[in-house]
């Protein structure tokens, strides 16, 4: 690192630490920051509005740059084009391995002083803290933890057909058969690649556990693709596709969720942002819908973490960006935002009893750590963006082509992983 850059960084860290210490004593002048994100559904918008209101109380004005599109696919493209044009937003939603890839460019603001002033090392779950660090520096502010391996059940439909909420695969398959015979679509599903992968990774976790899951999607081990438990997950994916009915199309996740809410489908697999969406529409867990682990995955937390990163640009907005980063970790903001979003806070030691049952299970399981935590492939936690895209494309190819044998899909994915693996 050039001496001038090193001295500038030292000054920035000192300034950040002083600013973090001074904020409680006096309200600073209002600042304005543009935030690029993909929280555009009604439930997500309600959660974003919590951030807007809470930050306004701290003198930080949120200028919205919302980009529609599930899983942030569209937002990622817009971000890259804006950065290339020299028009990067001051803050942007970013997830998982994407943070590391952008940090490698040197464009992200380092938040070490903010993290020290806010005692992030003590406040955050270790897994969350590791996810926002790059080469010893904090480069992102975490917002909330999402659990991906969740099954939603329309309780009125299940009660009408005298079905119990399934906890294991055999019960799930049996319930789907009963529903089909009664003329009810068992599973709301979309052909969108990221939604298909969200379903498949839950099925793989159920059949193969976290060891096989990590071998395939984190270590990119081509040998793991031949595992018969992966073949079982693919076969179950094909059966789940049949549960979705003949009119399966590529549609936003919110439209698939509306089928669950309207009763035109009985179940859906989706991350817990779907719970936030249902609750925003007046549905309550345990009363209108069940929110349970994907059958066979109880005790495992397939996770993603919402974060905001900050582009350094010419450092003219660095002090304001640091103020925003520090404010995002306030306990009251964490509790209110995550309650609206459907996720759980990134801070340790909070009162789980105040959370709904689905959130309480997610929070306590994440706090357990260790092998319980499994990084989501579909949501950029397990591997880098280009690796994720290649794997998702291969899984989606199998999903849409019913003539493709399971064994051939295994061979094709193994070939992809041999190319992607380090040294491949």
Domain 3-145+305-363 fold: D-Maltodextrin-Binding Protein; domain 2 (3.40.190)
Q: Name the 3-class secondary structure at 284.
A: coil
pLDDT at 392: 98
Q: Each residue of 149-203: pLDDT tens digit?
A: 999 999 999 999 999 999 999 999 999 999 999 999 999 999 999 999 999 999 9
Do 232 and 408 form a contact (C-beta atoms < 8 A)?
no
Expressed in percent and rounded to 5, the helix, strand and coil fractions of the chain are: 55, 15, 30
Give pLDDT tens digits along the chain (424 positions): 443 443 344 344 434 443 443 344 345 679 999 999 999 999 999 999 999 999 999 999 999 999 998 778 889 999 999 999 999 999 999 999 999 999 999 999 999 999 999 999 999 999 999 999 999 999 999 999 999 999 999 999 999 999 999 999 999 999 999 999 999 999 999 999 999 999 999 999 999 999 999 999 999 999 999 999 999 999 999 999 999 998 899 999 999 999 999 999 999 999 999 999 999 999 999 999 999 999 999 999 999 999 999 999 889 999 999 999 999 999 999 999 999 999 999 999 999 999 999 999 999 999 999 999 999 999 999 999 999 999 999 999 999 999 999 999 999 999 999 999 987 6
Q: What is the pTM of this model?
A: 0.92
pLDDT at 424: 67
Q: Which residue has the tokens 């984190």?
A: 218
Domain ranges of the chain: 3-145+305-363, 150-302+370-420
Q: Is 82 exposed, middle or buried (0-12, 13-18, 19+ CB in 10 A)?
A: middle
The CA distance from 275 to 297, in Å, is 18
Token output for 393: 């494309």
First to last CA, the chain: 31
The CA distance from 244 to 259, in Å, is 11
pLDDT at 1: 45
Do 192 and 250 form a contact (C-beta atoms < 8 A)?
yes
Ranges of beta strands (E only) in 326-424 are 373-375
- If we measure between CA atoms, which residue out of 234, 214, 359 comes closest to residue 284? 359
pLDDT at 43: 94
How large is the angle between the packed helices 331-341 and 42-57, nearest 10 degrees?
A: 170
Torsion angle of C-alpha atoms 63, 68, 70, 76, degrees rounded to 10: -70
Output the DSSP codes for 145-213.
Answer: EEE--EEEEEHHHHHHTT-PPP-SHHHHHHHHHHHHHTT-EEEE----HHHHHHHHHHHHHHHHHHHHH
Do 171 and 165 form a contact (C-beta atoms < 8 A)?
no
Q: Which residues contact 124 (CB under 8 A, 6 or more apart)?
A: 142, 329, 346, 347, 348
pLDDT at 28: 61
Same fold, 3-145+305-363 and 150-302+370-420: yes
Say whether domain 150-302+370-420 belongs to CATH 3.40.630.30: no
Average pLDDT, the chain: 93
pLDDT at 27: 52
The CA distance from 343 to 358, in Å, is 9
């Amino acid at each position: 690192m050039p001496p001038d850059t090193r001295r500038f960084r030292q000054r920035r860290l000192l300034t950040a630490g002083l600013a973090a210490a001074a904020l409680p004593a006096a309200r600073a002048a209002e600042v304005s920051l543009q935030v690029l994100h993909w929280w555009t559904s009604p439930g997500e918008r309600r959660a974003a509005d919590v951030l807007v209101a809470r930050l306004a109380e701290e003198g930080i004005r949120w200028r919205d740059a919302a980009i529609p599109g599930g899983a942030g696919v569209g937002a990622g493209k817009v971000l890259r084009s804006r950065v290339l044009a020299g028009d990067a937003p001051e803050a942007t939603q970013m997830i998982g391995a994407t943070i590391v890839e952008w940090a490698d460019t040197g464009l992200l603001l380092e938040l070490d002083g903010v993290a020290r002033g806010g005692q992030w090392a003590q406040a955050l779950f270790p897994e969350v803290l590791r996810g926002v660090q790059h080469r010893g520096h904090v480069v992102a502010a975490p917002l909330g933890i999402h659990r991906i391996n969740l099954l939603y059940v329309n309780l009125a439909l299940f009660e009408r057909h005298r079905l119990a909420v399934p906890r294991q695969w055999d019960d799930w398959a049996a319930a789907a058969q009963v529903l089909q015979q009664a003329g009810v679509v068992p599973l709301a599903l979309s052909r969108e690649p990221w939604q298909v992968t969200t379903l498949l990774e839950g099925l793989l976790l159920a059949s193969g556990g976290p060891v096989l899951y990590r071998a395939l999607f984190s270590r990119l081990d081509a040998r793991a693709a031949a595992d018969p438990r992966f073949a079982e997950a693919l076969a179950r994916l094909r059966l789940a596709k049949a549960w979705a009915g003949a009119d399966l199309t590529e549609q936003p996740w919110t439209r698939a969720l509306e089928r669950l809410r309207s009763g035109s489908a009985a179940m859906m697999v989706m991350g817990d942002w779907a719970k936030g969406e249902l609750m925003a529409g007046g549905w309550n867990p345990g009363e209108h819908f069940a929110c349970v682990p994907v059958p066979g995955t109880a005790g495992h937390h397939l996770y993603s973490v919402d974060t905001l990163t900050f582009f350094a640009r010419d450092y003219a907005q660095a002090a304001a960006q640091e103020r925003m980063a520090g404010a995002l970790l306030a306990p009251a903001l964490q509790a209110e935002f995550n309650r609206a979003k459907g996720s759980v806070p990134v801070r340790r030691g909070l009162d789980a009893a105040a959370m709904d049952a689905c959130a309480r299970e997610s929070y306590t399981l994440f706090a357990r750590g260790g092998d319980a935590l499994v990084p989501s492939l579909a949501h950029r936690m397990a591997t880098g963006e280009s690796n994720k895209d290649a794997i998702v494309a291969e899984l989606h190819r199998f999903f849409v082509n019913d003539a493709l044998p399971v064994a051939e899909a295994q061979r094709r994915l193994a070939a992809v992983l041999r190319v992607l693996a380090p040294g491949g």
